[in-house]
Amino acid sequence: MSHHFKDYRGSLERSLEHAVSYLESLDERPVAKEITSQQLRDLIAGEMPQQATAPEQVIDEMAYALDAGLVASGGPRFFGYAIGGTFPAALAADWLVSAWDQNVPYYVSSPAMAVAEETAAEWMVELLGLTKGSAVGFTSGAQEAIYTSLITARNSLLENAGWDVATKGLYGAPQVNVVVSDQIHSTIKRALSMIGLGIETIVKVPTDDNLRLIPQELERVLADINGPTLVCAQAGCIDSGAFDPFDEIADAVANHGNAWLHVDGAIGLWAAASDKQKHLLKGIERADSIDTDGHKWFNMPYDCGMVIVKDPAKITSAMGGGNMGDYLNDAMEKPDRNAINFGIAASRRARGLPVYAAFKSLGKQGIVDHLDNCCALAKRMADILREVEGITILNDVVSNRFSAQFGTGDVEYRNELTARVVHRLQQEGYLYPSTSGYKGLKTMLFSVLNYHTSIEDIDNSAMKIIEAFNTEKAIFVKPA
């Protein structure tokens, strides 16, 4: 089968038509649809094709079949988990990333992408008020960014203790202590288990009613721990949006002697850009490493994460930039940015280009307006709901998210009623919150991350939530 570059036009035009149709439907379409996995297999699966099919036909058939199982998470009323929308310029740039198909680990493999990502990294550090010259790597998401950060932390801590883990490995190495908030996210635990530090010996520090790490408790814990120590804090707790007190945490880390401070900023780090919010992150610039996601609050297309390390030499060493094959020696000796020094991936797409496009399109003020608007809308929803008897907002709403519970009385009843309310809302399809937990309570987690969410979306969604609560309260009667 011969191939010509002109063959792209027809399928790309069909793809554009389907994409725009989908995007323009987001405001009206159900957020989620009731369909079984078997029904989707009937639409999508089947025997492997043996003969060629025209690309335009493939795109048409695929768009029809997959539409039945798409979740409108990019729409204005998806409030679950921590999934954002997509800025228009970022989405368009991501299409170009695919069309240009550049491999970006080395400057020589795509000089244009290297400079674009370098620029996006510098602008990001400036936007967030972090230490100038900090290293920024573009990852698949916060999970990979955490993995990269903790490898860097592990290697640096062990080097300080006289052990070169890159050459000697972990067998016989000094133990690295790990101290975290009791609200540690699963991505931290996954990374710890993957890099050989394990999770069995983690020391958890208690948090307050808003799920902020208590610094006095951290000081007490660190006073009893000797040797290399990794401390993990949070910027934007998943269930409350709370920010740990970074200045006090950084003081405790600095007083230890051989400790590394990592901040999980997957959701909340972007608040540092806003004059209205940056007080919540006072001291964040003192962190040794930070992870964040672009595809959450910053509204990048999936996938896009960032790892930030204050000392570029630390991450470059940890990523093994000196262990390349001979065929890459010339590439690595170039003085310009080699992205492989700032992450674990070798071959990858230019994830930094949509970030660059967003900066160019929105400017700092546009980004700040988006961040502030999300916080204002989350607070508006919380204010409406807390006026309803039987709905409890569990945390101070300081950012773009909160946790709520439904009902009164014993915990078991409230937990079950809350789950029923959330599941009803998901099935109805107008909006989509998710369930979570809050110090043992089953909750409705409500997040506002999307650039397109409006006051009308919030007010109409509040009415739907209250209706669902009243319906389920009447159906699910509290046991006598």
Q: What is the DSSP string of 293-348?
A: ESSSTT-PPSS-EEEEESSHHHHHHHTTTT---GGGHHHHHSSS--GGGGSS-SS-
pLDDT at 34: 87
Angle between helices 215-223 and 246-256 (to 10 degrees): 10
pLDDT at 27: 94
Q: How far is CA 330 from CA 313, 333, 334, 335, in A?
A: 20, 5, 7, 10
Question: How many angstroms separate the CA atoms of 163 and 196, rounded?
Answer: 15
Fold classification of 364-475 is Aspartate Aminotransferase, domain 1 (3.90.1150)
Q: How far is CA 455 from CA 8, 451, 461, in A?
A: 41, 12, 10
124 with 388: CB under 8 angstroms?
A: no
Question: Is there a cis peptide before residue 209, judged by omega within 30 degrees of 0?
Answer: no
Question: How many angstroms separate the CA atoms of 238 and 294, rounded?
Answer: 16
Calculated CA dihedral for residues 314, 128, 83, 343, nearest 10 degrees: -20
Give the tokens for residue 83: 């999934």
Q: How many CB atoms lie within 10 A of CB 92?
A: 14
Give the range among 107-116, 224-233, 261-270, 319-328 with minimum mean pLDDT.
319-328
**Which carries the bigger pLDDT value, residue 325 or residue 164?**
164
**Which carries the bigger pLDDT value, residue 331 or residue 304?**
304
pLDDT at 478: 75
Say which residues have a Cβ less than 8 Å from residue 24's Cβ, sequence separation at least 6: none
pLDDT at 165: 95
Say which residues have a Cβ less than 8 Å from residue 357's Cβ, sequence separation at least 6: 87, 89, 90, 92, 93
Question: How many angstroms separate the CA atoms of 137 and 338, rounded?
Answer: 10
Query: What's the Rg (C-alpha) of the chain?
Result: 24
339 with 106: CB under 8 angstroms?
A: yes
Amino acid letter at 96? Answer: L
Percentage of residues in the chain having pLDDT higher than 70? 96
Pairing, β 203-205 against β 229-234: unpaired
pLDDT in tens, 121-164: 999 999 999 999 999 999 999 999 999 999 999 999 999 999 99
Percentage of residues in the chain having pLDDT higher than 90? 93
178 with 200: CB under 8 angstroms?
A: no
3-class SS of residue 244: coil
In the predicted structure, residue 308 carries a pLDDT above the cut 60: yes
Give the range among 54-63, 147-156, 314-323, 438-447 with minimum mean pLDDT.
314-323
Domain 92-358 has CATH 3.40.640.10: yes
pLDDT at 1: 46
Question: Is there a cis peptide before residue 326, judged by omega within 30 degrees of 0?
Answer: no
Q: How far is CA 181 from CA 217, 233, 245, 279, 287, in A?
A: 10, 6, 12, 20, 15
3-class SS of residue 437: strand
Mean pLDDT of 183-199: 94
pLDDT in tens, 391-440: 999 999 999 999 999 999 999 999 999 999 999 999 999 999 999 999 99
Q: How many CB atoms lie within 10 A of CB 160?
A: 15
Using alpha carbons, select from 242, 294, 306 the residue that is nearest to residue 449.
294
**How many alpha carbons fall within 13 Å on the CB side of residue 328?**
13
Question: How many angstroms separate the CA atoms of 172 and 62, rounded?
Answer: 54
Pairing, β 391-393 against β 203-205: unpaired
207 with 183: CB under 8 angstroms?
A: yes
pLDDT in tens, 28-48: 999 998 899 999 999 999 999
Q: Residue for token digits 């790990």? A: 178
Q: Torsions phi, psi of 6, nearest 5?
A: -65, -15
Pairing, β 305-309 against β 135-139: antiparallel
In the predicted structure, residue 311 carries a pLDDT above the cut 60: yes
pLDDT at 117: 97
207 with 182: CB under 8 angstroms?
A: yes
The domain spans of the chain are 5-72, 92-358, 364-475
pLDDT at 477: 82
DSSP state of 205: E
Using alpha carbons, select from 190, 192, 368 the residue that is nearest to residue 274.
368
421 with 461: CB under 8 angstroms?
A: no
Q: How many CB atoms lie within 10 A of CB 62?
A: 15
Look at the chain and count its residues: 480
* 115 burial type by CB count under 10 A (0-12 exposed, 13-18 middle, 19+ buried): middle
- The distance of Cα 391 from the centroid of its chain, to the nearest Å, equals 28
pLDDT in tens, 339-386: 999 999 999 999 999 999 999 999 999 999 999 999 999 999 999 999
Give the tokens for residue 77: 């009323």
Q: Residue for token digits 């069909």? A: 14
In the predicted structure, residue 2 carries a pLDDT above the cut 70: no
86 with 74: CB under 8 angstroms?
A: yes
Mean pLDDT of 291-317: 97
Mean pLDDT of 56-85: 96
pLDDT at 304: 97
Give the tokens for residue 214: 């208590």
pLDDT in tens, 192-223: 999 999 999 899 999 999 999 999 999 999 99
In the predicted structure, residue 480 carries a pLDDT above the cut 80: no
Mean pLDDT of 176-186: 95
pLDDT band at 443 (very low <50, low <70, confident <90, very high): very high
DSSP state of 440: T
